[in-house]
A = this chain, B = another copy of it.
Amino acid sequence: MACPIEVTVNLLGDKWKVLIVRNLLLGGTQRFGELNRGIDGVTQKVLTQQLRQLESDGLVARKIYPEVPPRVEYSLTELGHTLKPIFEAMHSWGTSYLELRGA
């Protein structure tokens, strides 16, 4: 009998994963380089690692175009899109927080 919140945390409980999903929710399908530039402070290696985990957890889809130079596009799966309410709640909370703490 697992706790649903613990399940969610185990899949999404990494700072970078949250930011990756945020970018894909807001910006739609993106190439590796776009994500790399869009997420402040993340390195290539870590971005690759996190994307692989998100992919194996079924939240993110990876599409490779057999071109040279290579092109790889990342997008949310159907399951990934169902995370949206969580991000709306976080967005809403973060906005209120910034207003309170006088941004």
A95 at the interface (CB under 8 A from B): yes
Number of copies: 2
Category for how many chain A residues contact B: 20 to 34
Q: Is the interface of A mostly helix, strand, loop or mixed?
A: helix
Stretch of A7-15, A28-36, A47-55, A60-68 with 4 or more beta carbons under 8 angstroms from chain B:
A7-15
A18 at the interface (CB under 8 A from B): yes
Residues of B within 8 Å of A10, CB to CB, are 15
Contact status A93-B97, CB under 8 Å: no
Query: Whole-angstrom distance between the alpha carbons of A94 and B90 in the complex?
Result: 16
The one of B13, B90, B96 that contacts A5, using a Cβ cutoff of 8 Å? B90
**Which A residues are closer than 8 A to B by beta carbons?**
2-11, 13, 15, 18-19, 22, 79, 82-83, 85-98, 100, 103
